[in-house]
Structure 1
Amino acid sequence: MEKQLFIVNEVRTNNFNDSQVADKIGALWEEAKQYQQENQAFYGIYMDYESDFSGDYTVRVATDYQAFLGADTIAIPQQQYHVFPVENDVFATWQEIWKLPFDRSYVFDYEEYLPDGSIFIHIGLKA
């Protein structure tokens, strides 16, 4: 069964051609803080890829807690994922992922921020 998430907000950006990428993503997370509840997970969702990690994509922040009435929902699709635990820095982990020779699907990737403080990056793989 697909996990349903409630979308807080979204933005379209690019890792290499948008000088405001960090500010845009940071603003999404700042907005999400107002909906934070105890024992709640948050998700950074990466989808609608123009090509690969070097092209434009949409990033959404979502939660597994219905933060507000009328929130749009999104489901984590069933596909094979390679999961990376984040040791210190999310962006540094992404930079390491970009160097790896995975056969990525570029359909749906996500960061999972758990209530215990642990963070995992899930990279969608081609079947």
Structure 2
Amino acid sequence: MGELPDERLQKVPPFTYTGMDCFGPFVVKERCSELKRYGLLFTCLYNRAVHIEVIDDLTTDAFINSLRCFLAIRESVKKLFCDYGTNFIGGKNELKRQFEFMSHESLKKYLANKQIEFLTTTPTASHQGGIWER
């Protein structure tokens, strides 16, 4: 058996190292119609705590909005691990593009200090994210 990653062994605040994945759809009833909703699951790699955000669809915009809600609550996030879902890759690219166009230097410095590293698994190897895929 291989060694556990350092992110799983360091004593850190909850959700400093986080794995995320989408699940669903599940059907909810709103007035007279039935709608599909999805869940975005955040799993702390150290103590296995979970945080779930409900999203309307699997688009990049929905992912970024739910990520912003998660980061507003859990400020200690340093690394986000995810699979190679198109919404995750689109969100990663969009955040990177927006970060390059910022002009205010103090805001850039603040975000550079709080910068979160996105790490993805190999495109067809979902078993690499066993902790949050489970």
With the shorter chain as reference, the TM-score category is: under 0.3
Greater relative contact order (CA < 8 Å, ≥ 6 in sequence): 1
- Structure index of larger Rg: 2
Between Structure 1 and Structure 2, which shows a larger proportion of helix residues? 2
Between Structure 1 and Structure 2, which shows a larger proportion of strand residues? 1
TM-score, scaled to structure 2: 0.21
TM-score, scaled to structure 1: 0.22
